[in-house]
Amino acid sequence: MGSKDIRKLSRSLKTAGAQDYSLFVKGKNVEKAFKDAQEQDRYEYGSDPYSGTIGQASNYRLVTRTPMTIEEAGELGDKRVNRLDKWGYAEAIPIGETKVLGREKKLSLKVRAGNVEEARRVAKEHALTKVKQRKGAKVIVKTSWPKEIKGAGTPAFKKEPASGKGFIVLPVFSGSLDADYLWLGGARSTPIYGRKSLATAAVKEAMSEPHVGKGDTFAIVKVEPKETYKVTGTPSRLAKWEVDVTIKQVKTGKAIGFLFYGVAGT
């Protein structure tokens, strides 16, 4: 089997020292397909235990014997891959010969949802109501990455008096306080000093850090919060999203190959 019979599909999720892999391998025998994929992988990467690919898999496990479309197998694999261990076994799903019935249908849908994944799910559910399923066919819906076109409403909240006045230390860039530092969470771990002398000591300690150089500036800022706003409920309305969908109906025949996926070290 040549490399043209093995098609890498994605490496979607990266974590510390590991990443997903998935690839389609042509063939009717799953054991041979697995061995061919490993041989090709080792030809490309050698015996590197951190190549992040199927060559590291200890073995394989067949998830089902029923052939699926590549789209169905991909969705199932995405749900199962987080259960797999680095350097453990790969999972395999048979991919059937696929015949498309009729023409693909393309739609642009507007949906309400709380986040991207929910927008894709809702769009897919809406799309399925737009087509009449043919006898013996599977309906495959592909969604684009949703585009938020209108934000969510203000959630329910409770306003209360604030406490914790004092002093904090912030970096200064181009003569201005680093507002992004506050918004992105840098100040979440910054203590509020009850006395200015304590804040001054903190500045001196910060200036002694190895990464601090000539020209770096710090400011002591007096803070006296007036009130806090605590979110107590969901938004009054969900965000509005635009999602492009493609709908096709297919029939799946005998297996022509296998989708392998798993987790490997990097």
pLDDT tens-digit series, residues 86-96:
878 999 999 99
| Cα of 63 vs its chain's centroid, Å | 23
Q: What is the structure's pLDDT at 189? A: 59
Q: Which two tokens stand for residue 38?
A: 């490993």
pLDDT of residue 182: 55
191-205 burial string, b = 16+ CB within 10 Å, else e? eebeeeeebeebeee
Place of tokens 């769009």: 123
Q: Judging by DSSP bridges, how do beta strands 90-113 and 18-26 pair with one another?
A: unpaired
SS3 226: coil
Q: Which helix (H) or strand (E) holds 137?
A: none
State how far the Cα of 102 lies from the Cα of 77, in Å rounded to an integer: 27
**Which pTM was predicted?**
0.62
Residue 208 Cα distances to 124, 182, 205, 213, angstroms: 55, 22, 5, 9
241 CB-contact burial (10 Å; exposed 0-12 / middle 13-18 / buried 19+)? buried
What are the structure tokens assigned to 125, written together?
């559910």
Strand 217-223 with 176-177, pairing: unpaired
The per-residue pLDDT for 226 is: 83
Low-confidence residues of the chain: pLDDT under 70 = 1-6, 8-17, 48-52, 174-175, 177-190
